[in-house]
Amino acid sequence: MAAYVPVRWVAPLLYGAVLVGGLYYAAAGLGEGPGPSGWRTAGFVAAIGALFALEAAVRRRPASRVPALLARCGLIVTVVLLDASGLSQVLFVLLPFTAYFAFGRTTALTLGALCLAGLLTSYVLTAPGWYRDLEHVSDLLMLTVGLVLALSMAAVAVGEQRARLELQEYADRVAALSAAAERNRLARDIHDSLGHHLTAMSVQLEMASDFRALDPDAAQRALNEARQSVRLALGDVRQSVHALRDETVRPALSDALVGLAREGGPPPQVTVEVSGDEDGYGTAELTALYRAAQEGVTNARRHALASRVTVVVRLTGDAARLVVTDDGRGFAPATAAGGFGLVGMRERVQLVAGRVEIDSGPGAGTRLTVTVPRRRTGVT
C-alpha cells in the first residue's frame, strides 16, 4: 500500500492540549502521580517535547514508518504514566490514526483494539470493580469514541488523497496520449505536405540532370518546376505554422485539388473532377480527403510509374467519396508492407469516422477509395 500523508495539525493540537492540561493540574496540585511532583512534571514536559520533535522528524523523513510508530507508542505511554491529569489517554487515538496512513486500515484497526485492550487490562490490574466506577467507564467510552472518530477521519483523508493521486495519474496519461496524438498529427502533416513536394522535387531535379546535355529546354523546365515545388512546400510550411497558432483557415477542397493537378512536373498527368457542395464538411474531413488525394498522386508518381491519374470527388448530403485511380504497375495490397504514408492516411481518415479501400494488382493499376461521412452537427 502507498504511504499517505497524515493530517498534520491533529497530532500537534492534541500534544498542546495535553501539555496545557497536565501543567494546569500540576500547578493547581489537583492530581497525584508516581514520584516527586517536580520531577514528574519535568519528565512529562520532556516527553511531550520529544513527541513534537518526533513529528517534525517524521515530516522530514516520511520513509521511517515503523521506527516512528514504535517511538510514538513509547513516548505516549511515558506521557500517560507521568500525567497526573489523566487527559493524556486521548493520545492513544494517534496510534491507529497515524498507522492508517502508513500501513492501512487493518493495522490501524488492530492498534485501536490493542489500545482498548491495554486500557481495560490496566483497569483490571489496578482498579478492582472499575466497571462500577463512573470515571473509569467514562474514560473507556471516551477513548472508544475517540478511536472511532480518529479512524473515520483517517479513512476520509486517505480516500481523498487516493482520489487525488488517481486523478493526477489520469491527467498524466491524458497528457501523454495528447502528446502522442499531436506527434502523430505533425508526422502526418510533414509526410503529406513536405514529403509530397520533396518527392516531386527529387524527380524534377533528376530529370534536369538527365536532360541537361540532351535537351536543355526540358532540363530548364524541370528546374522551373522544382522551384515551383519549393514555393509550394514553403506555402505548406506556413499553413502548418498557422495551424499550430490556431490560425487555421477552412480549406476549399476543390481549389486545393485543382492546385494539386496544376503542380505539373513529370508524369503522371493528373485530372480532377469535383461535384457537390462542401457545406456541412468540416476542416478535418476536407483535409483528410485532400491528404488522401495527395498521397495517391505521390504514390502514383513515385512508385507506380503511372502515366495518368484521375481524382474524382463526390460530395453528397450523407458522405464524401474520393476515388484516386492510376494506370501504373500496381501492387498486391495483401502482401505489400504499408509505408508511413498509407498508415498516416488511414489514421487521418479514421479520426473523422471514414474508411479507406485499396484495390490494386500487379500490372492492373491502383484504385484508392476514401469515404468520409458528413457531420450532422454543422460545419467546424
Stated pTM of the model: 0.50
Supply the pLDDT for residue 278: 86
Supply the pLDDT for residue 247: 46
pLDDT digits (tens, 9 = 90+) for 184-229: 766 666 666 666 667 777 777 877 787 777 788 877 877 877 777 7
pLDDT digits (tens, 9 = 90+) for 10-31: 888 989 998 998 888 888 776 5
pLDDT digits (tens, 9 = 90+) for 249-289: 555 788 888 877 776 555 678 899 999 988 888 888 888 89
CA dist 347 → 4, 173, 288, 320, 353 (Å): 42, 21, 9, 17, 10
The rounded distance, in Å, linking the Cα atoms of 44 and 95 is 19
pLDDT digits (tens, 9 = 90+) for 29-38: 765 555 446 7
Mean pLDDT over 224-241 rounds to 69
Q: Look-up: residue for cell 498529427? A: 185
Supply the pLDDT for residue 232: 67
Greater confidence (378 vs 179) lies with 179
The rounded distance, in Å, linking the Cα atoms of 129 and 29 is 27
pLDDT above 70 (res 164): yes
Supply the pLDDT for residue 320: 94
Supply the pLDDT for residue 239: 59
Greater confidence (111 vs 347) lies with 111
Supply the pLDDT for residue 312: 94
Supply the pLDDT for residue 313: 94
Supply the pLDDT for residue 53: 92
What is the share, in percent, of the chain residues with pLDDT greater than 70? 82
The rounded distance, in Å, linking the Cα atoms of 58 and 103 is 15
pLDDT band for position 241 (50/70/90)? low
Euclidean distance between the first and final Cα of the chain, in Å? 47
Please choose, from the candidates 96, 92, 87, the residue with its C-alpha nearest in 3D space to the C-alpha of residue 19: 87
pLDDT above 80 (res 311): yes
Supply the pLDDT for residue 379: 42
Strand order in the sheet with 319-326: 269-276, 308-315, 319-326, 366-373, 355-360
Greater confidence (324 vs 122) lies with 324
Supply the pLDDT for residue 35: 47
Query: CA angle, 92 as apex, 91 and 97 as ends, to 5°?
Result: 95
Supply the pLDDT for residue 51: 92
pLDDT band for position 364 (50/70/90)? confident
Are the CB atoms for 331 and 267 separated by under 8 Å?
no
Mean pLDDT over 327-333 rounds to 83
